[in-house]
Homo-oligomer: A and B are copies of this chain.
Amino acid sequence: MAQVLRIVPLGGLGEIGKNMMAIEYGRNILIIDAGIMFPENDMLGVDFIIPDWQYLRDKKAWVRAIVVTHGHEDHIGALPFLIREIPAPVYATPLTRGLIEVKLKQAKVIEGVTLHTVQAGDRLTIGPFTVELFRVCHSIPDGVGLGITTPAGLIVHTGDFKFDQTPVDGKPTDFATLAEFSKRGVLALLSDSTNADRPGWTPSERVIDPAFDAAFRQAKGRIIVATFASLISRFQQVIQAAVRHGRKVAFAGTSMLENVKIAQKLGYLEIPPGVLIRLDEMDRYPPSQVVILTTGAQGEPSSVLARMAAGQHPQLKIVPGDTVILSAHPIPGNEEMVHRTINRLFQRGADVLYDPIAPVHVSGHASQEELKLMINLVRPQYFIPIHGEIRHLKAHARLAMELGIPAERIFTVENGWVIEFRDGQGRIAERVPGGYVFVDGALIGDIGPEVLREREVLSREGFVVAIVRRDPRTGRIIGRPELITRGFTFAREAEELLAGAEELILETARSANGEGKSRQALAQRIQNALADYLYRHTRRRPMIIPVVTE
């Protein structure tokens, strides 16, 4: 009897980030990617989120390999956590492998891990799967998609991609292999949905060059370009522009420097001799001959750019005449921080160029016309939109329908919904865990909705702790109650308010003296009375914590 092919999305379906998928056939599992996601604004205090791979815990022995499509955080960031639990061999192209290596070393999980370097065009045999890697363009070099031949049919997974005809590294997406897959017959296409709500084509990386040239021509002082730490093709473009305009380039920021080193070593970044300078050599050159490449285009408070904007960077000060180019779009949720950084740079006298002021960034993901082209190239029997929030998956599904893929052969599902193929027929099967695992400090997964709800209340209203001591025999309160508040209101304005609260507590304790002798009962009464009192006077509901000691 033929076995069942199962596609188990564990991350990236229903969200942007923490991409992860399991392909399962018999007792064989292939994992594709294991990324992290950055928390939304109301996931208070969470550092980042990793996929919930509970599903794999019983099947650890079945995992044959982890294949990684490219080196972005949302595809490799969770590998240290995953590999600690499931030390399967990892397959990745050279640059991706280099970035993974750094990550595993930092997390001290490199020992005993098998890392295989593979190339676009390679064909790997992993258990019952044959995996063919095909080149895709994206906002990092060396990205691949996967053609996975299983006993149940051929699955095509695009990874993250766009159809850039003139990519900076000269390596366009591999149309030929995609067309060849189509000839062989594709059971299911799993395709990147990030930009599925954007009409048209995503512009080529090359459109940035003229915008850089215009900016470099006009800039009288230093040029500071902020972009993503992994956007190596953008570094290349900045270096080329610097050469054209007779400027030296310095990199600022640890993560960017790390990536530059790897990319240069592996041949993904060409820096002509004499162009690169160290940050501390900058002062030897006139401002008009300097470019600084840095991170912080997302307004991250700890980044070099944000610290420059806030006047808090020890070495780098913004001075009038500086031109700052933000060569990145804000990731949704970061808009406010990005705009704040821009405003602060202007305040310090810099000129700031950003989209839409100047076309200094393009997306790395395919827009609608490219997505249609992908579907038409591959002509799959089944279509599964991946990598996107529900709205993106739905928009992508709508495109597929417009191209004639019947609705019942399109599976628009969120993380955890298993898709099964049996005798050539696909269906949505059971749901397995596919939620969030929060990482906060050194603790993983112990921050759940309860703690977040508490933080949410604290963040809006602050708290009041009321401590009273009572005599266990008489039930009388000893001394004055002690009130401690934080995040609620200024102590000096609240003096009168809190004095009233103390009286109220004493009164509540006195009137409760006869009944309910338990500490808990008294604490409850104090809490209720205090909540009422504070709401009446302030229209606010701080968290109230009564403590009755004896």
Contact = CB atoms under 8 A, between A and B. Distances in A.
Interface of A: 14, 40-42, 44-45, 197-199, 332-333, 335-336, 339, 342-343, 346-347, 352, 356-357, 389-391, 394-395, 440-443, 446-448, 450-451, 454-463, 465, 467, 469, 482, 484, 486-490, 493-494, 537-540, 543, 545, 547, 549
A407 to B, nearest CB: 13
Nearest to A458: B458
A10 B329 CA distance: 32
B462 A455 contact: yes
A547 B482 contact: yes
A396 to B, nearest CB: 12
A197 B484 CA distance: 48
From DSSP, what is the main secondary structure of chain A's interface residues?
Answer: mixed
A539 B442 contact: yes
* Chain multiplicity (copies): 2
Contacts of A446: 489-490, 493-494
A336 B339 contact: no
Given A332-B339, A447-B490, 5 more contacts: A44-B487, A343-B391, A451-B490, A465-B465, A486-B543
A537 B442 contact: yes
Nearest to A47: B539
30 contacts: A41-B41, A41-B336, A44-B459, A45-B487, A332-B339, A333-B335, A343-B389, A346-B391, A441-B538, A442-B540, A443-B489, A443-B493, A443-B540, A446-B493, A446-B494, A448-B490, A450-B490, A451-B487, A454-B462, A454-B487, A455-B462, A458-B459, A458-B486, A458-B487, A463-B486, A465-B484, A465-B545, A465-B547, A482-B547, A484-B545
A442 B494 CA distance: 13
Nearest to A549: B469
Contacts of A459: 44-45, 455-456, 458-459
